[in-house]
């Protein structure tokens, strides 16, 4: 291990950052011993909590150890340069040293990002709500296109999708559709999708061939766990009614649809996709919990926004975040000014380039704010 008085300390920007990294490494080593202790393993709830903490520290510790290894190689290379007897060897060492110093800078930036405060919701599953907004039937059709886009993305990364509630139109669109995406880090990848998505194209319903502009809104909510949101049953009004619309004959013959109203906030959630009243009620309460958690996050973000407005991820549902221009085959994210000319693959769920750019931009803002 490189001594704190030299090595890493002379390279890292601040002693505080080095101290933090060494403290994290010590904590990680302590946790490694604890999770291997048979007595701790026997206490499954404690063991799982420690395992989760251990896993969260692992990327930082691995990067810090790689960084220290590079610093050791730099020191060794500099010592080799003291021997001036072989010019060819000296040139080779200088080239190697330049590569190592470049690697060192890259690792320092990566360490800074790893040390940024984590969003406590990043690892959670998400509930996505898509609604057709301005543009009537065309907006509803585009809401259906966005649903398929996110489902294809989930499929690509191995996440599971479950439909929670839908209000389809007769020609294949959705006035509203709500679904859950279950997978590690789902919220961290999808949280910047919240906002107004604008589409410019010739609608299938347009006989004159004119380009129309329509909008659908997307809300990405972290799935609320019981520990996040506690609902008092006395704060709920639960109404049952007969399902309407698509779903087959059996859906419409009983009072299986459920409407849950949260009286303190006035939030209303309806579910009618399932034939079982109990299942509809469970789904409605799941959506309600996530909306209440999102409300709390919005309040928290509003307090932060008073100090510094973020370019990415304000989460404002009315904010126009992206334009999908079909005649030009492009998709533009207005928050970071990125345009991709691969609309077909984007609509087929190839979202990583855009999502990575949004995450990088958000991290850059956090780093700037931390300076």
Burial class of 18 by CB neighbour count within 10 A (0 to 12, 13 to 18, 19+): buried
Number of domains in the chain: 2
The domain boundary residue, chosen from 82, 114, 146: 114
For residues 268 and 140, state if they share a domain.
Answer: yes
Task: Please tell me whether residues 229 and 360 are part of one structural domain.
Answer: yes
Q: Is 121 domain-assigned?
A: no
Among the three residues 114, 143, 174, which one is the final residue of a domain in this structure?
114
- Domain of 108 in residue numbering reads as 8-114
207 burial type by CB count under 10 A (0-12 exposed, 13-18 middle, 19+ buried): exposed
* Rounded average pLDDT over 281-300: 81
- Please give the Cα distance from 349 to 181 (Å, whole number): 14
Report phi then psi at 84, rounded to 5. -95, 10
> Does residue 10 come out as left (phi exceeding 0), alpha (psi in the -120 to 50 range) or beta?
alpha
DSSP letters for 100-120: HHHHHHHHHHHHHHHTSPPPT
pLDDT band at residue 369, thresholds of 50, 70 and 90? low
Residues 326 and 361 in one domain: yes
Least confident stretch, 124-128, 213-217, 294-298: 294-298
137 or 298: which carries more pLDDT confidence? 137
Residues 21 and 157 in one domain: no
Burial tier of 113 (Cβ tally within 10 Å: 0-12, 13-18, 19+): middle
Closest CA to 175 of 222, 128, 138: 138
- Decide which of 46, 80, 114 is a domain's last residue: 114
Note whether residue 156 is domain-resident: yes
141 and 195 together in one domain: yes
Q: What is the CATH number of the domain that holds 214?
A: 3.30.70.1660
Q: What is the pLDDT of residues 26-75, one digit of tens each?
A: 999 999 999 999 998 998 888 888 998 898 889 889 999 999 999 999 99
Same structural domain, 204 and 331: yes
Which tens digits make up the pLDDT trace of 309-357? 444 444 445 568 999 999 999 999 999 999 999 999 999 999 999 999 9
Residues 222 and 299 in one domain: yes
Residue 2 located in a structural domain: no
Q: Exposed/middle/buried for 350, CB within 10 Å: 0-12, 13-18, 19+?
A: middle
Judge whether 12 and 71 are in contact, CB under 8 Å: no
């Amino acid at each position: 291990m490189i001594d704190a008085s030299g090595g890493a300390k002379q390279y890292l920007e601040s002693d505080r950052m080095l101290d933090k990294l060494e403290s994290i490494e010590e904590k990680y080593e302590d946790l490694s011993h604890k999770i291997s202790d048979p007595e701790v393993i026997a206490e499954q709830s404690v063991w799982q909590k420690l395992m989760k903490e251990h896993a969260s520290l692992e990327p930082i510790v691995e990067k810090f150890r790689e960084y220290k290894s590079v610093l050791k190689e730099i020191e060794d290379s500099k010592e080799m340069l003291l021997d001036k007897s072989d010019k060819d060897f000296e040139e080779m060492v200088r080239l190697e040293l330049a590569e190592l110093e470049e690697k060192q800078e890259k690792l320092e930036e990566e360490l800074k990002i790893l040390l940024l405060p984590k969003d406590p919701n990043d690892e959670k599953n998400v509930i996505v709500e898509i609604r057709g907004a301005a543009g009537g039937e065309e907006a509803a059709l585009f809401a259906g296109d966005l649903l398929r886009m996110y489902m294809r993305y989930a499929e690509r990364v191995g996440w599971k999708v479950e439909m929670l509630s839908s209000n389809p139109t007769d020609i294949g669109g959705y006035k509203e559709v709500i679904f859950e995406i279950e997978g590690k880090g789902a919220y961290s990848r999808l949280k910047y999708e919240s906002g107004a998505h604008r589409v410019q194209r010739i609608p299938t319903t347009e006989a004159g061939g004119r380009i129309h502009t329509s909008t659908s809104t997307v809300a990405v909510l972290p799935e609320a766990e019981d520990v996040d949101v506690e609902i008092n049953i006395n704060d709920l009004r639960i109404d049952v009614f007969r399902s309407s619309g698509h779903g087959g004959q059996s859906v419409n013959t009983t009072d299986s649809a459920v409407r849950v109203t949260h009286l303190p906030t006035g939030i209303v959630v309806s579910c009618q996709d399932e034939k079982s009243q109990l299942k509809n009620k469970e789904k409605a309460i799941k959506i309600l919990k996530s909306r209440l958690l999102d409300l709390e996050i919005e309040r928290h973000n509003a307090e932060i926004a008073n100090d510094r407005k973020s370019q990415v991820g304000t989460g404002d549902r009315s904010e126009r975040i992206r334009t999908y221009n079909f005649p030009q085959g492009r998709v533009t994210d207005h928050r970071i000014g990125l345009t991709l000319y691969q609309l077909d693959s984007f609509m087929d769920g190839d979202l990583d380039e855009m999502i990575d750019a949004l995450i990088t931009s958000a991290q850059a803002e956090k780093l700037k704010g931390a300076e």
